[in-house]
Amino acid sequence: MTDVWWPGVALHVVSGKGGTGKTTVAAALALALAHQGKRTLLMEVEDRQGIAQLFDTAPLPYEERKIAVAPGGGEVWALALNAQEALLDYLDTFYNLRRAGSVLRRMGAIDFATTIAPGLRDVLLTGKACEVVRRIDKRAPNAYSAIVLDAPPTGRISRFLNVNSEVSGLAKVGPIRNHADLVMSVISSPRTAVHLVTLLEEMPVQETIDGVSDLRSANLPVGGIFVNMTRPPMLTSEQLREARSGTLPALGIERSLAEAGLTFDNQVVTALMHEANDHAVRVDLEAREATRITELGLPTFMLPLISEGIDLGGLYQLANLLRECGVR
Amino acid sequence: MKLNAPNLDVDALIRDRSITIIVCTGAGGVGKTTTAAALALRAAEQGRDVCVLTIDPAKRLAQAMGLSVLDNTPRLVAGVCGPAGTGSLHAMMLDMKRTFDEVVEGNADPERAQAILDNPFYQALSSSFAGTQEYMAMEKLGQLRAAASAESSWDLIVVDTPPSRSALDFLDAPERLGSFLDGRFIRILTAPARGAGRGIGKLAAFSFGLFTNVLNKILGSQVLADVGSFVAAIDTTFGGFRERADATYKLLQDSGTSFIVIAAPERDALREAAFFVERLKTDSMPLAGLVLNRVQGGGEIDLSAEQATASAERLEKMGEDERLTAALLRLHANRQKIHTRQLHLAERFTAAHPGVAATTVPALAEDVHDLAGLREIGDLLAKKPEPPSRSK
């Protein structure tokens, strides 16, 4: 397939249920989008230093840094966002007030704004992402070709992005309100796509379906579904049927094991057949859940489970798969 | 999976009548709510009168416990009883805004309560502040505990913790909200009403001017006025939020409380669990142990991933007839690789925290739909590891 997905999108927001591999998919996406000499920015907002861990580097500061190169001369940069720094940044950019920071901190105002005041924290974080997007529009020399945001989980994503309604309870008019409007004009535009990561299991799929409907009712642009850690069938459909009913030919398996020069006992044959049964059950479950995902009618990308665990090599592997599917 | 850690004896824990609160905590997506529900059911069926407080259960799990409405009150779960008619299970879902409203209503006269409930800042705070859920979970725990001793309605409360950004949030949120409401910032905000500026030094006066100036510029004066009137209203009726937060904290340090840290065999979840274990130690909060969910089986037979892969390769070259066995060996190799990785991650945890007891629950293909499903998880939680059968 030669089409490229989301050609006009500058901000890719990646969400998903906890434990589905959001950060991994966000990183693979940033790598995939950085092909052929492009430069992308991978941002995280939850103070977890997930990016640094994944790329095996020291904790990231509040500063854009190059963390990986992509095939063809592309680069992935990273930024670990933090609400306090984002607030000082905001004061500096809009009010030239960076020096007021220490006074504000002493008074407890920074703490108030970033942890207590409802919604402010989210406006500051999404606001920073939108500032980076606007660099593209301004053709600034430090502009990226795309930004990938490793966002909060599905349960909170609509609220996180819908900053307008978040601050409306707090500020009906005033600068924060204007700022929220500005942020919203980027986030709800076709320049943004919100992607959801899921596993082919009941609960994450249900959360994805609910998440898509939440995003739609908040008029937020839904991008694609990234199905992570899939286990493609390793047996033919006939073999799966036999594995399910426990009728795989035990004698044949024994003969083959001997052929392969393995020393084994009955236990081994039984265990292999048992594992085949587990696999068949898992394949059935994944097929069932995949149907529910397909019914959403959204672009869907399958990423395999990497048995060795995700390291840099695994990330490149996933990025390549995405690129082959037209994500670049 | 055989862990190199003392066994977490779940049955001994739930049978111990001196334990009256069990807190289940861990990173998001590791199965906290399901574990809490399964433990609560198991305890009830062993004769305890249990109340389980869930935060945000998946729809089907809520249905499994007969919870169809979020009404912030414990409901009796039908069809649960222990030996000889003893034991019962109540379950509830936390409604954070409702809980906050009740705190306000219960502590202020009707007129003042209404003023607080109508305040725009209060409305925003009670429905969307990221820490409110944590704070209200603890508040609710305090209420349930008080009801338990007043009415002897239940003798064990099992609490699920909110799906926080970090598992530690729920320990810190009450303190954060408490210190905010008690703090300097609030006193400054509400100071104009009390005639502020008197007696403060020149530098402080300058800072103060700059401070209000900046806030007005950014937030607009309406916001500050709302915050100010909210705090003024709440100040006189609450006897200090910090005191409430402190009381909750003390309850968590009580010897009748026991924490269960839940994780999955993944880097992030185990890192989060490690932080939590250390934090509990620092704050002298009693830890029962670790529940490792979603563990993939492996190691049952003596056939390594490398051996299986090599044999599969050999068989694949031999032709069609050997395809099935080759595929089975590849399946086994994959499974073994995952098992080895998970074991490695778990061992990193147990090596760093050698005293922490642990139990594992295998990955289940399907979600819990009913009480039978919860019972099964309870059985798996309580299953004692088999003694080592052969040496390596």
pLDDT-derived band at B138, boundaries 50, 70, 90:
confident
Interface A-B: count of C-beta contacts within 8 A: 205
Which residues of B fall within a CB distance of 8 Å from A18? 27-30, 163
Q: What is the DSSP letter of B91?
A: E
Instruction: Look up the domain containing B126 and give its range.
Output: 10-296+363-382
Residue B387 counted as domain residue: no
pLDDT-derived band at B199, boundaries 50, 70, 90:
very low
Q: Is the dihedral of CA B128, B130, B133, B138 positive or negative?
A: negative
Q: How far apart are CA B352 and CA B271, in angstroms?
A: 11
Least Cα separation, residue A249 to chain B (angstroms): 9
Assess whether B206 and B307 both reside in one domain.
no
B92 in contact with chain A, both atoms CB, cutoff 8 A: no
Which residues of A fall within a CB distance of 8 Å from B315? 256, 259-260
Go through B331-364 and write b for each residue having 16 or more CB atoms within 10 A of its CB, e for each that does not: bbbbbbbbbbbbbebbeebbeebeebbbbbbebb
Residue pair A125/A13 in contact by the 8 Å Cβ criterion: no
Assess whether B98 and B216 both reside in one domain.
yes
Higher pLDDT, A260 or B216: A260
Which residues of B fall within a CB distance of 8 Å from A107? 184-185, 188, 207-208, 211
- For the ranges A149-158, B122-131, B243-252, B357-366, which has the lowest average pLDDT? B122-131
Alpha helices in chain B (DSSP H): 10-15, 32-45, 59-64, 96-107, 110-118, 120-128, 132-151, 169-182, 184-190, 202-219, 221-238, 241-253, 267-282, 305-318, 323-352, 371-382
Residue B389 counted as domain residue: no
A276 to B328: CB separation less than 8 angstroms, yes or no: yes
Q: How far apart are CA A244 and CA B378, in angstroms?
A: 26
Assess whether B328 and B289 both reside in one domain.
no
Residue pair B5/B355 in contact by the 8 Å Cβ criterion: no
SS3 for A145? coil
Cβ count near B154 (within 10 Å): 23
Assess whether B254 and B347 both reside in one domain.
no
A235 to B324: CB separation less than 8 angstroms, yes or no: yes
Condensed to tens digits (0 to 9), the pLDDT of residues B209-250 reads: 766 776 676 666 777 778 777 777 776 656 556 677 678 788
Assess whether B73 and B205 both reside in one domain.
yes
ipTM of this predicted complex? 0.86
Assess whether B199 and B97 both reside in one domain.
yes
Assess whether B313 and B370 both reside in one domain.
no
Assess whether B100 and B195 both reside in one domain.
yes
Q: What is the mean pLDDT of chain A?
A: 89
pLDDT at position B184 over 70: no
Maximum CA pair distance of chain B?
Answer: 94
Residue B388 counted as domain residue: no
Assess whether B249 and B321 both reside in one domain.
no
B223 in contact with chain A, both atoms CB, cutoff 8 A: yes
pTM (two decimals): 0.89
Q: Count how many domains chain B has.
A: 2
Identify the CATH number of the domain in which residue B215 sits. 3.40.50.300
What residues contact residue A117 under an 8 Å CB cut-off, 6+ apart?
A170, B129
Q: How far apart are CA A314 and CA A308, in angstroms?
A: 9
Residue pair A52/A58 in contact by the 8 Å Cβ criterion: yes
| B320 burial type by CB count under 10 A (0-12 exposed, 13-18 middle, 19+ buried) | exposed
pLDDT at position A49 over 90: no
- pLDDT score at B247: 80
Which residues of A fall within a CB distance of 8 Å from B124? 118-119, 169-170
Which residues of A fall within a CB distance of 8 Å from B217? 95, 175
CB contact residues (below 8 A), chain B span 158-187, against chain A: 163, 165-166, 176-177, 180, 183-185
Residue B392 counted as domain residue: no
Assess whether B292 and B264 both reside in one domain.
yes
Q: Which helix (H) or strand (E) holds A53?
A: helix A50-54
Q: Which helix (H) or strand (E) holds A121?
A: helix A120-137
B222 to A173: CB separation less than 8 angstroms, yes or no: yes
Residue B5 counted as domain residue: no
Q: How far apart are CA A88 and CA A148, in angstroms?
A: 23
B219 to A18: CB separation less than 8 angstroms, yes or no: no
Tell me the residue ranges of DSSP E strands in A102-169: 146-150
Least Cα separation, residue A40 to chain B (angstroms): 24
Condensed to tens digits (0 to 9), the pLDDT of residues B275-319 reads: 999 999 998 999 999 999 999 888 788 899 999 999 999 999 998
What residues contact residue A138 under an 8 Å CB cut-off, 6+ apart?
none
Residue pair B270/B346 in contact by the 8 Å Cβ criterion: yes
SS3 for A239? helix
Condensed to tens digits (0 to 9), the pLDDT of residues B337-385 reads: 999 999 999 999 999 999 999 999 998 867 788 899 999 999 999 998 7
Q: Which two tokens stand for residue B76?
A: 């009796």
What does CATH list as the number for A11-231+305-324?
Answer: 3.40.50.300
Residue A222, CB half-sphere, CA atoms under 13 Å: how many? Answer: 25
Condensed to tens digits (0 to 9), the pLDDT of residues A267-326 reads: 899 999 999 999 999 999 999 999 999 999 999 999 999 987 888 899 999 999 999 999
Residue B4 counted as domain residue: no
Residue B49 counted as domain residue: yes
Assess whether B147 and B167 both reside in one domain.
yes
Domain boundaries, chain A: 11-231+305-324, 234-296
Assess whether B174 and B323 both reside in one domain.
no
